[in-house]
Structure 1
Amino acid sequence: MQSLPNRRLLLGVGLLMGLGGTACAQTPRPRNLTVFKTPTCPCCDGWIAHMREAGFVTTVTIVENLQPIRTRRGLPDGLASCHTGLIDGYLIEGHVPARDVVRLLAERPTAVGLAVPAMPLGSPGMETPQGDREPFATLLVLPSGASRVFARHNQPA
């Protein structure tokens, strides 16, 4: 008769361990983002705050020149902006919305990364007190150097 309670105990422990493993498997990985920026750009700090609010863990490195990082990663000069991020093997250039980065990491396309060239008003970090917003596109940068629209933002209704 003593084997019955032991069997129940083992089944219960096994069930709890199985559930614990499932919960661990569903825990999202930390989103570690390394950001390179120049010392004189305040809008970069706004974008970094946007990314932190979206749950990204950011490490900021101040550099005098972003060009070597961009070149080494394959970003065409025409897609450059004021800061460069690196996450899970992807380059994130400029004021890319956090939700676009989340989508990139979920879909994992073969790409250099994402870029929002220039500094469009109303993009994350480029908000104005008056609420000015320009339409802009987040571009998926392909290994060939070509790009295509990944997402559109601030479109007229």
Structure 2
Amino acid sequence: MDYKIEKMLVRDWEQVARIYLEGISTGKATFQTDVPSWEVWNNSHIKSCRLVARLNDNILGWVALSPTSSRCVYAGAAEVSIYIETGYRGKGVGIALLTEVIRASEQEGFWTLQSGIIKENTASIALHKKCGFRELGIREKIAKMPTGKWHDVILMERRSKVVGIDNSKR
């Protein structure tokens, strides 16, 4: 498959939103229940480090970062969101996107990437581990879906080896 990892453009939003909705529909990719408008999504995500996997005019998946806090001391920490179209899961698209957003985030000065992944989303947990994330712990029954089902969330983190503190002495 000859796709390219490229910067997400505003014109990609319709396809990005469709893939996001696929993730929402699984009930294990996010606690979000509806796709927000472009304006809401755009304002809640960091302007850099928004990428898509593009095959011709088709978006196969996307990744973006959002701030973990508005406090300046957390300026180098970001939350990862990654979604892959159903037909392209398990084909390396996620690894390519996550690897590239890690590279791009380090160029932008991010020293920590984190993810909170619903425990049942074992594919996403495995993807993050393949890309150097480690499990920090579990937040038990942290969120209750509108259906009444409670979910645990696995906290995962990747610390940069090139930005921020010297991780070699940990």
TM value normalised by structure 1 = 0.32
TM value normalised by structure 2 = 0.30
Computing the radius of gyration over CA atoms, which structure comes out larger, 1 or 2?
1
